[in-house]
Amino acid sequence: MKKTILNLKNKSVGDIDLDNTIFGIKKLPDIIHQYIRYQNAKSRQGSHKTKSRSEVSGRSKKPFSQKGTGNARQGSNKPPNFRGGAVSMGPVNRDYSFSLNKKEKKLAIKSALSVKATQDKIVIIDTFEIKSFKTKDLFSDLKNFDYKSALFIYSEKDLNNNFKLASSNIPKISTLNQKGINVKDLITFDKIFIDQKSINEITERLSWKISKKIFL
């Protein structure tokens, strides 16, 4: 798959061949859904907790006499039926995360990248290096592109500090190291801007033999 390389002025500076085993496979909704479930589960805090009878503060003395009051007999004021007592079968701290093997993760990312490539939502940029750290200068350049929201994927330790500072104040724009590429971000953002160096790194990292059945 051939793609045009652009600069931040939206002008062509060359071409690049994208690997079809990464940017040209068919959409796999079940794998994408499983990966997003995996991401959401990992991000859940799981810190919900209610107190059991052993954790409720209070005395274990009988609240009233065993007989003669007309009330049902009680051993303490900690049971759930008392005001300020324990919660019956309430939530406890737990870990919601589950495992997903590497092949499934890679396949989900490839499928998400392929969907974006098919929709022409991937933009290859030669470099994110800019001279000014001012937001208005970068915002003026990005007006050359048509997008609702944008994710800028950069090479490891290679993002220009001026670009990071300038983009931080622009709404609906985010930056991400190519090592942190994930399905949720790829689907959430309207357009994906990737610098040329990151394309090579992503291709190298995600490359492995793939079945011919999942090509477009």
* Domains parsed from the chain with CATH numbers: 2-44+97-214 (3.40.1370.10), 60-92 (no CATH)
Would the pLDDT of 212 be above 60? no
pLDDT at 58: 84
- Local confidence band at 92 (pLDDT 50, 70, 90 cut-offs): very high
- Over residues 114-156, the pLDDT tens digits come to 999 999 999 999 989 888 899 999 999 899 999 999 999 998 7
Task: Return the HEC string of the chain.
Answer: CEEEEECCCCCEEEEEECCHHHHCECCCHHHHHHHHHHHHHHHCCCCCCCCCCCCCCCCCCCCCCCCCCCCCCCCCCCCCCCCCCCCCCCCCCCCCCCCCCHHHHHHHHHHHHHHHHHCCCEEEECCCCCCCCCHHHHHHHHCCCCCCCEEEEECCCCCCHHHHHHHCCCCCEEEEEHHHCCHHHHHHCCEEEEEHHHHHHHHHHHCCCCCHHHEC
pLDDT at 16: 93
- Over residues 44-74, the pLDDT tens digits come to 999 999 999 989 998 888 989 999 999 999 9
- Over residues 32-42, the pLDDT tens digits come to 999 999 999 99
pTM of the predicted protein model:
0.81
Would the pLDDT of 191 be above 90? yes
